[in-house]
Amino acid sequence: MRRWLVGGMLMAFGLLSAAQVVEITFWTAPNPSQEVFWRQMAEAYMAINPNVKIVVSPMPEVPTSEAGILAAIAARTPPTASENIFIGFGEQLARSKAIVPWNTLPGWDNLVQNRAMNQTIEGWKFADGNYYIIPLYVNAMLIGWRLDILRELGYSQPPRTYSEVLAVGEVVKAKYPGKFVWLRSELEVPTWWQRWFDFFVFYYAASQGKALITGREITADDQAAIGVLQFFKTLRDRKFLITEPLATGFELGRTVMTVLGPWTFPWWRENYPELVYGQTFVVTPPPVPDAYPAEKPVFTFADAKGVVLYAQATPAQRQAMWEFIQWVFSNPAHDLKWIEITGMLPARDDVGTNALFTSYIQEKEPALLPYAQNIPYALPPFAHPEFVEIQELMGLECIYPVLVGELTPARGWDAWKRAIRPLLVK
Amino acid sequence: MNWKKDVGGWLLASPYVLAATVFFLIPLGWSLSLVFYDWNLIDPVRQFVGLENFRTAFTTSRVLYAFVNTYKYAAIFVPSVVVAALVLALIVQHLPRLKQFFAVGFFLPYLASGVAVGLVVRGILSYDSPFNEFLRATFGSSPRWLRDPTLALVVISAMIVWKFAGYYALIFLAGLQGIPRELYEAACLDGAGPFVQFRRITLPLLYPAFYTVLVLAVGLCFGIFTEPYVLTGGGPRFATHTWQLEIYYQAFDRYRAGYGATVAVLNAVATFVSVLIIRRVVEAWGVRRGFR
């Protein structure tokens, strides 16, 4: 009888303990290295917090990660939180009340302070004044140059301005008629997100970081935008830019310039070990108009994504996730681990100045140093729920007609502005 | 109705009835209800817009491109695949041995992944491919295969012909094998040559196979997706855009479930009407020529 009583008590205690365990789910980007990082974080956290069970899994891509998230929300099976959310998609989720503003949770200011995000976080403020996304990483998009080829052509450093790039093009074509300055086959394709990696990069550089769209208004620097379009067209007309599909360009030395994100370096190490930073290639900010002051910083586009908390989670799950997120982001060692595992730079103000990060980058991956230094000048995409159509129309109404000579750069730019105005007021 | 007598039949049919209900009837009803709403799948409020989605679909150039391009695809694809399939079937029919082996061989492209084939074709047509290098070395330039609106349409149509020719050839082959040999022997005794035999015996007696292949091929043109998605994304300037691409972009790129459903319904109507017309035309042709 006594044995039964003790057994029953133990079972009841066990059930009570199990009931107190909060299970939360976290979806990572469908990228193995990011999944490894979050699994390690979750395991370390669960080791010191046994009352929390964190299930980490990559988000489904059916057919895109955004569509996978929408499908999960519609089916009422979203995770508690997920990463891989950029500000445009976040705006759409926020408008549908599918995510929770982080800044309404207690301790938000401390988190911003602890992670050194005071400056970075400003680019992530939504139109309603809230912060729905904690920025996880910021990949400044910079320009890679084949230094070995430039040296063969008599240059000791990459060109800085449009005229200097065109001059390099003349020399490239004179010596190597089969080579090009830049391969960008996507310029003729209207796929919306491709604009992040061509027009946005050059536009932010030319306009000193002026926003294309603010709220419901077009706030772009027209002259800078038209200058970028003219630059693209001149490159193409002189056959310095190839817009046809080409298997490999920069890596095999068929082109001398490429728009480059830091995620490329681990792939290069595996597949093109001959590409060595400082010897065969260097990284610089994007080329700028000739009149651009040399002493001024050059802005660029930032491929930046972050973490959101879903509104369908229970209050207990939200609280547990918030505590986990605070634990992850309040320790710089975790951000260092992020760099080590993913090769991408955390969204911190001090990543280019904090010795913890700079010493690692200098020693292990010096090519990341310009990326760290350019984070303050790397701007995220604009936040508007119609981002897909707005960016698609840029390709359809502006870039393609300008490239093939149907419209002048000025008319192409006006055509895009006219086409997106009805969308902006939605 | 005698339920006791019918229960066995219902039991046997139940897997199909269940699958059709879950995967066809319920989604169909759901889609039909969505066409009246502007909704992104997650917003707690579905905005009723009446017939606004239809008005948008009828006035936007994207849907018009999809509509017109389908007939452009059909104009290239249908005659090409019918000729290719018929030629393949005749070749296999006249093989002295290993007929089954070659019939299955020609059928294999139908089973190949469209994405994988698309990537291979993209590699073959890329600027630096050996094929284009050869063209430039020989003729001084190479075509902009996937950047020229007409060429891109032809390339995609050719891919689909390659994929389906073997499949339709099996239909023709079955038709050919059903033609009695005595007819050819009699024609031969009457002095008819191979061409006359083909025109007077093979073609008329293959009418049922032609009918099937034509209806299938026309219907297929309304469902083209993978090839333009992988190769051109519907470009350049919508030259290769299709109904399915438009539905995909609206539903999964722009998250407009209501509008995507509207385009899908219009696609279904266009497919139904087009297939109906081609059926009537082929039937009328068959009656006029005495094939039916």
> Using one digit for the tens of pLDDT, what is the confidence trace for A231-287?
999 999 999 999 988 877 899 999 999 999 998 888 898 899 999 999 999 999 999
Rounded distance between C-alpha atoms, residue A4 and residue B86, angstroms: 81
Q: Tell me: cis bond preceding B96? Omega within 30 of 0 counts.
A: no
Partnered with residue A137 across adjacent β-strands are: A305, A346
Asked if the C-beta of B122 comes within 8 angstroms of chain A's C-beta atoms, the answer is yes
Rounded distance between C-alpha atoms, residue B76 and residue B78, angstroms: 6
Interval A210-236 mean pLDDT: 95
Interval A167-177 mean pLDDT: 96
Per-residue confidence (pLDDT) for residue A327, from 0 to 100 = 97
Q: Are residues A130 and A153 in the same domain?
A: no
Coil vs helix vs strand at A142: strand
Q: Between A16 and A256, where is the model more confident?
A: A256
Contact A190, A400 (CB under 8 A): yes
Write out residues 2-41 of A within 8 Å (CB-CB) of B.
none
Amino acid at A351: V
State both tokens at A266.
């681990």
Rounded distance between C-alpha atoms, residue B49 and residue B47, angstroms: 6
Nearest CA among A342, A88, A68 for reference residue A193:
A88
Nearest CA among B161, B167, B154, B163 for reference residue B116:
B163
Q: Is the pLDDT of residue B167 over 50?
A: yes
Per-residue confidence (pLDDT) for residue A349, from 0 to 100 = 87
The number of beta carbons lying within 10 Å of the beta carbon of residue B274 is 17
Per-residue confidence (pLDDT) for residue A7, from 0 to 100 = 52
Residue corresponding to tokens 């030259």: B239
Residue corresponding to tokens 């219907």: B219
Nearest CA among B256, B224, B255 for reference residue B240:
B224
Q: Are residues A133 and A152 in the same domain?
A: no
Per-residue confidence (pLDDT) for residue A22, from 0 to 100 = 95
Per-residue confidence (pLDDT) for residue A8, from 0 to 100 = 54
Q: Which runs of E-coded beta strand occur in A43-178? A: 52-58, 81-85, 99-100, 134-140, 142-146
Name the packing angle between helices A65-74 and A87-95 (round to 10°).
10
Q: Are residues A149 and A213 in the same domain?
A: yes
> Using one digit for the tens of pLDDT, what is the confidence trace for B263-283?
999 999 999 999 999 999 999
In sequence order, the 6+-apart residues with CB closer than 8 A to the CB of B26 are: none
Contact A201, A369 (CB under 8 A): no
State both tokens at B27.
């989604």
Look at A71 and B128 and tell me if their CB atoms are within 8 Å: no
Per-residue confidence (pLDDT) for residue A10, from 0 to 100 = 45
Q: Are residues A396 and A323 in the same domain?
A: no
Give the CA angle between residues B286, B187, B92 to the nearest 5°. Answer: 70
Asked if the C-beta of B235 comes within 8 angstroms of chain A's C-beta atoms, the answer is yes
Interval A346-352 mean pLDDT: 90
Q: Is the pLDDT of residue A18 over 70?
A: no
Coil vs helix vs strand at A161: strand
> Using one digit for the tens of pLDDT, what is the confidence trace for B93-118?
999 888 889 888 999 999 999 999 99
Residue in B with minimal Cα distance to A88: B254
Asked if the C-beta of B47 comes within 8 angstroms of chain A's C-beta atoms, the answer is no
Q: Are residues A239 and A335 in the same domain?
A: no
Q: Confidence band (pLDDT; 50, 70, 90) for A13?
A: very low
User: What CATH number does residue A394 fall under?
Assistant: 3.40.190.10
Q: Is the pLDDT of residue A377 over 50?
A: yes
Q: Is the pLDDT of residue B2 over 80?
A: no
**ipTM exceeding cut-off 0.85 for this assembly:** no
- Domains of chain B (ranges; CATH) run 38-288 (1.10.3720.10)
Q: Are residues A51 and A150 in the same domain?
A: no
Q: Are residues A286 and A173 in the same domain?
A: yes
Rounded distance between C-alpha atoms, residue A206 and residue A291, angstroms: 10
Partnered with residue A135 across adjacent β-strands are: A306
Residue in A with minimal Cα distance to B253: A388
Give the CA angle between residues A352, A357, A358 to the nearest 5°. Answer: 60
Nearest CA among A376, A348, A378 for reference residue A114:
A348
Interval A7-35 mean pLDDT: 73
Q: Are residues A398 and A360 in the same domain?
A: no
In sequence order, the 6+-apart residues with CB closer than 8 A to the CB of A384 are: A88, A91, A213, A216, A390, A424
Q: Are residues A289 and A351 in the same domain?
A: no
State the Rg of chain B over Cα: 24
Q: Are residues A396 and A293 in the same domain?
A: yes
Tally the domains of chain A: 2
Q: Is the pLDDT of residue A404 over 50?
A: yes
Q: Are residues A266 and A413 in the same domain?
A: yes
Q: Confidence band (pLDDT; 50, 70, 90) for A194?
A: very high
Q: Are residues A69 and A46 in the same domain?
A: yes
Q: Each residue of A321-354: b (16+ CB within 10 Å) or e?
A: bbbbbbebbeebebbbbbbebbbbbbbbbbbbeb
Asked if the C-beta of B149 comes within 8 angstroms of chain A's C-beta atoms, the answer is no
Written as one string, the DSSP assignment of A238-301 is TT-EE-S--S-STTTTSEEEEEE-TTHHHHHHHH-TT--BTTTEEEEPPPB-TTS-TTS---EE
Per-residue confidence (pLDDT) for residue A16, from 0 to 100 = 46
Look at A64 and B253 and tell me if their CB atoms are within 8 Å: yes
Domain range enclosing A192? 142-301+382-424
Written as one string, the DSSP assignment of B126-182 is STTSHHHHHHHHHHS----TTTSHHHHHHHHHHHHHHHHHHHHHHHHHHHHHTS-HH
Long-range contacts of A205-211 (CB under 8 A, 24+ apart): A205/A285, A205/A286, A205/A287, A205/A288, A205/A298, A205/A299, A205/A300, A206/A288, A206/A289, A206/A292, A207/A299, A208/A296, A208/A299, A209/A299, A209/A377, A209/A379, A211/A379, A211/A382
Interval B58-64 mean pLDDT: 93
Look at A245 and B255 and tell me if their CB atoms are within 8 Å: no
State both tokens at B211.
């009918």
Chain Cα centroid distance, residue B14: 30
Look at A70 and B123 and tell me if their CB atoms are within 8 Å: no
Of B126, B144, B235, the CB nearest to A247: B126
Rounded distance between C-alpha atoms, residue A94 and residue A384, angstroms: 11
Coil vs helix vs strand at A229: helix
In sequence order, the 6+-apart residues with CB closer than 8 A to the CB of A42 are: A26, A54, A56, A324
Look at B41 and A71 and tell me if their CB atoms are within 8 Å: yes
Look at A244 and B42 and tell me if their CB atoms are within 8 Å: no
Decide the pairing of beta strands A99-100 and A142-146. Answer: unpaired
Q: What percent of chain A has pLDDT over 90?
A: 73
Residue corresponding to tokens 């306009």: A207
Nearest CA among A181, A303, A300, A171 for reference residue A232:
A181
A-interface mutation test, from B253, B256, B259, most A Cβ less than 10 A away: B253
Torsion, Cα A382 A384 A385 A390, to 10 degrees, reads: -80
Asked if the C-beta of B237 comes within 8 angstroms of chain A's C-beta atoms, the answer is yes
Nearest CA among A49, A58, A47 for reference residue A82:
A58
Interval A23-42 mean pLDDT: 95
Asked if the C-beta of A311 comes within 8 angstroms of chain B's C-beta atoms, the answer is no
Reported as type and span, the H/E element at residue A181 is: strand A180-183
Phi, psi of A405 (to 5 degrees): 85, 10
Give the DSSP letter of residue B235: -
Q: What percent of chain B has pLDDT over 70?
A: 99
Q: Between A143 and B237, where is the model more confident?
A: A143
Coil vs helix vs strand at A183: strand
Write out residues 65-94 of A within 8 Å (CB-CB) of B.
66-67, 70-71, 73-74, 92-93
